[in-house]
Structure formats: structure tokens, C-alpha cells
Structure 1
Amino acid sequence: MKALIAGAGRLGTQIAQVLAAARNDVTLVDVDEDRIAELEGHLPVRLVPGDACEPAFLEHAGAHTADLIIAVTGNDEDNLVISLLAKRKFAVPRVAARVNDPENAWLFDRNWGVDTAVPAATPLISLIEEATGATDTVSLLRLSKAGVDVIETAITPQSRAAGRTLAEITLPAGTVIATVVREGQPTVPTPEMRLRPGDELLLVSHSATEQEIHAAFQ
């Protein structure tokens, strides 16, 4: 799947990392050139600076061949414009958009090209199903075609994994750690990385349950 994500804030970078870990072709764009430069080398995706509200830039970024466009900027007007362009000009099959202000939620529908509207309170956009639990380990995303689950778990001072390296943690079969979000920044996981309270991990698995992931870290 080819995905284009507009908005390289925390949510956008998490989505990019998750989709890339599931072997999708991901492009992440943002109008802030400094933010794109900051992410260079930290995400296994194509990073492009520019204004996704501009049709010419969207085409340059790959909208004309995208299977999915996700608009997650901090501005509802921008997210609506991006969604409308994606659907009407580039005929993108699936378009998801973040709703920052709940009062604007009524606008985020098919008339504006939005297939899936995601409230700002959602911790991580779900492309197929939204998060349904409020525990520290939540199944966030199911890539139905690939049969892949993306599961998030947060490290607390009470977690058994706190202070341990990733190499010391036994993961369920068919499970890999996609990223460790530390102090709001996605970090490429290495076996030597020692987990700290406050770390958030995104794991990709073909078979593990939320309970099995919880048992490994909590």
C-alpha cells in the first residue's frame, strides 16, 4: 500500500512508523522544513517538505498514485482542503482526516472527501478500526489485507520492562518493535536500548494478542 501522510507532528510520525513497519510505502510531508530535517534518519519513510494544500505539491509528493492519504495537521481547514484535493483531484481510494476542534466534526464527511474522521483525542489514528480500550496496551490498527495488528504499550515505573534493554525482553512469535516513542520523538529501536518510564512502544505482530504483549512488558 502507498500511503501519504500530511502533518509530521507526533501523530503523523507515529502513523508513518507503524505503516512503514508493516512494509507499506510511506511518504510523510509537512510545511515546516525544520521539522522534516529533524526527522531525517529517524523514520524509514520518504520525507518531503512542502504545503499539502497545494495541488502541485500533492502531485509531486505522490498523491496521484497513493492508495491512502491521511491529513493530520493541527489545522482543520488544512485537513479538509487536503482531503478534498485527495478525493476530487487525485481520486485517492481512502482518505482519513484528523478533527482538531470537535465543533468542526460535522464537516468531516464524504462531501469534503473524508472517508474516516478521527477525533483529536484518539491516541493514534486507526485506519481500519479505532482504539476501543483505555488500558496501557491497546490494539490500535489492523491491516486487514496483511493480517497485521499494531499494538501500543506504555512503560510505567511499575512495568517489569522498565530499566531493561530490548534484548532482555522475550517477544511473542511473529512480533517486532516498530518504534519507541521517547519524549515525543520516534526512536529506531536497538537491542541495547534501555526502556524508561514514559516510553511508548508500537509493536507489529501477525499473531500476538494484547494480553501477550502486556505480559511481556507489564
Structure 2
Amino acid sequence: MKVIVAGAGRLGTQIAEVLGGARNQVTLVDQDDDRVAALQGNVPAVLRIGDACEPAVLEDAGAHAADLVVAATGEDEDNLVVSLLAKRQFKVPRVIARVNDEENAWLFTHHWGVDAAVPAAAPLVSLIEEATSASDTVALLRLSKAGVNVIETTIGAHSQAAGHALAEVAVPPGLVVATVVRAGEPLAPTPELELREGDEVLVVSHSATEDEVHAIFQ
């Protein structure tokens, strides 16, 4: 899936980490030169400097071929403009926009090109499309307003999870397996997927620590 994320703040960066880690093609756009420079090499995404409210910037980021645009800036007016351009000018199939001020929530509708609005005042929920090369699979990844940890771990030789289906692995509430990478190929994290030694597991959590995740899977 080809994704454009407008806004390289905390939310935008986390979305880029999750989707890029799941082997999607992600482009992260921000007009802050210093912020973009700080992220170089630290997120699995192509970084672009520019104002995503400008059609030329979105076009340069690949909007004509994008499957998903996430407007995640800290300004509602910017997120609305990005959404409208993505949907009306570039015909992007799925557009998600962050609502920073709840008083503006009524504006975030299909009239502005928004398919799903993400409230900032409530627990932050992002609807993120996840697709394989063969189909347009839609998954829900829940990102907490308080912050999300994106953690990678590997199934070890002595892991209690090895040889068991994902549904059989006890994980704490708030932890979501985003993808399993086996021999360099991402696999859909279905309940019946059997974990094997050497599998790389990417998890998303707003509460579990790295040590807790490693203890579950390693």
C-alpha cells in the first residue's frame, strides 16, 4: 500500500513507523526542515520537506498513486485542506484526518474529503488501511492519544510462542500484533498464523514495555 502522511509530529511519525514497519510504501511530509532532518534514517519512510496543503507538494509525494492519505498536522485548517485536495484533486481512495479542536469536528465530513475523522481530545483512534500486494485488506490499528510504542521482537529458539498460533499467545490488553515478517516477507497477523523460530514480530502498544513484549515472544 502507498501511504502519504502529512505532518511529522508525534502522531504522524508513529503512523509512519507502523505502516512502514509493515512493509508499506510511506511518504512523510512536513514543512519543518529541522524536524525532517531529525527523522532522517529513524523512520521507515521517504521524507519530504514541504507544505502538504500545496497541490504540487502532494503530487511530488505521490498523491496520484496513493492508496491512503493521513492528515495528521496540528492545525485543523491544514488537515481539512490536505483532505480535500487528496480526495477531490488526486482521487485518493481513503483519507483520514486528525481533529485537533473538537469544536471543528462537524467540518470533518465527506464534504471536505474526510473518510474517517480522528478526535484528539478522546482516546486517539486511527483507521489505517493495511494492504497486501494481492488484495486490499483493511485492518484497524488503534493508536492512543497518550502515545504508542512500536516494538520489534524476534521469536527465539526457546520461545514459548514458537509453534503456537497467534490466538494461543497470551498478550496483555492494548497490545496489537501489526505484522509478522518471515524470511523477509510480511504475513497477515491472523489468529491461526503459527509462529516459528526466527519470525520477526512488530507489535503496537500504548502500555506494554519492550521487556514485556520480549518476554512474551522471545
**Matched-pair contact (CA < 8 Å) for 1:152–1:202:** no
**Matched-pair contact (CA < 8 Å) for 1:171–1:213:** no
TM-score w.r.t. structure 1 length? 0.65
In the alignment, structure 1 residue 204 sits paired with structure 2 residue 205? no
Q: Between 74-83 and 142-151, report the one with greater CA deviation.
A: 142-151
Q: How does 1:9-48 map to 2 (within 5 A)?
A: 9-48=9-48
In 2, the alpha carbon distance for the partners of 1:89 and 1:76 equals 19
Q: Secondary structure at the match of 1:8?
A: coil
Q: How does 1:93-172 map to 2 (within 5 A)?
A: 93-120=93-120, 121-123=122-124, 125-127=126-128, 145-146=136-137, 170=159, 172=161
In 2, the alpha carbon distance for the partners of 1:115 and 1:28 equals 20
- Measured against aligned partners, the alpha-carbon deviations of 1:78-105 in whole angstroms (never above 9, x if no partner) come to 0000000001111111100000000000
Pairwise CA distance, 1:216: 2.1
**Matched-pair contact (CA < 8 Å) for 2:83–2:97:** yes
RMSD over aligned CA atoms reads 3.6
Pairwise CA distance, 1:23: 1.3
Q: What percent of counterpart residues are identical?
A: 56
Q: Secondary structure at the match of 1:95?
A: strand
**Matched-pair contact (CA < 8 Å) for 2:128–2:138:** no
In 1, the alpha carbon distance for the partners of 2:60 and 2:215 equals 45
TM-score w.r.t. structure 2 length? 0.65
**Matched-pair contact (CA < 8 Å) for 1:71–1:96:** yes
**Matched-pair contact (CA < 8 Å) for 1:149–1:204:** no
Q: How does 1:170-189 map to 2 (within 5 A)?
A: 170=159, 172=161
In 1, the alpha carbon distance for the partners of 2:97 and 2:9 equals 14
- Measured against aligned partners, the alpha-carbon deviations of 1:64-123 in whole angstroms (never above 9, x if no partner) come to 111110000000000000000001111111100000000000000000000011111334
**Matched-pair contact (CA < 8 Å) for 1:80–1:108:** yes
Q: 1:100 to 1:150 in 2, by over 3 A?
A: closer
**Matched-pair contact (CA < 8 Å) for 1:63–1:90:** yes
In 1, the alpha carbon distance for the partners of 2:107 and 2:58 equals 22
Q: Secondary structure at the match of 2:47?
A: strand
Q: Secondary structure at the match of 2:48?
A: strand
Match of 1:74 in 2: 74
Match of 1:131 in 2: none
**Matched-pair contact (CA < 8 Å) for 1:5–1:72:** yes
Amino acid at match of 1:61: A
Structure 2 spans left out of the alignment, 5+ residues: 145-152, 167-173, 180-188, 193-204, 206-211
In 1, the alpha carbon distance for the partners of 2:160 and 2:32 equals 37
- Measured against aligned partners, the alpha-carbon deviations of 1:148-181 in whole angstroms (never above 9, x if no partner) come to 775779xxxxxxxxxxxx6798484588xxxxxx
